Amino acid sequence: MTDQEVQPNRGLPIWMPLAGMVVAFAFLVYAGTQIFPTLLGLVFPPEPPVPPDNATMISHNQIGPGADEWQYSSALTGCEIAKYVQDRVGGCIYDPSSQCTPDTMMPGPTEGTAYPVAKCVAIQGSGVASYRWLIQITTGHTPTDAKTRMRIYREATNRQQ
């Protein structure tokens, strides 16, 4: 047999493994965009929606798996806190006796008489997980205490309900 009679053994064309790698990379990118936000939300869940410079944490309790409760106090008025929370997560319902609305911030009853300002219920999504917020805002506490208090519940769930 001469060299001309021997046919080289032909393998796969070079484009086939390259096409397979491109398909595998596209699948990894797609899977990563679906999984990464969920993992990020589990490792770094969202912080409570409180004004960054004007709130002091009184307590934080983990009340169950994926469920937390915070209490904050602030020198801001209840209307200011409610507007901040409304702008950040939404879902606020103002108590009529507070005389606060999303557009108006009128003073309510005198200090020393605690009264409800707003209750905010919102869902914040993070990948396939979501966080359900319940925020209760009261104001009018005595001058020795901070003027406004917030009770915040956060529950992690795996659906957008």
What does the pLDDT read at residue 26?
A: 95
Domain boundaries, the chain: 11-44, 47-157
- Cα three-residue angle 43-32-28, rounded to 5 degrees: 150
Pick the range with the lowest mean pLDDT from 65-74, 85-94, 104-113. 104-113
What pLDDT shows up at residue 4?
A: 61
Position 111 scores a pLDDT of: 59
Per DSSP, helices labelled H in the chain are: 15-43, 78-88
If phi > 0 it is left, if psi is from -120 to 50 it is alpha, else beta; for residue 98 that is: alpha
What pTM does this model have? 0.70
State pLDDT tens for residues 5-63: 666 667 778 888 899 999 999 999 998 887 887 777 777 788 888 888 888 899 999 99
Taking 70 as the threshold, does the pLDDT of residue 157 lie above it?
yes
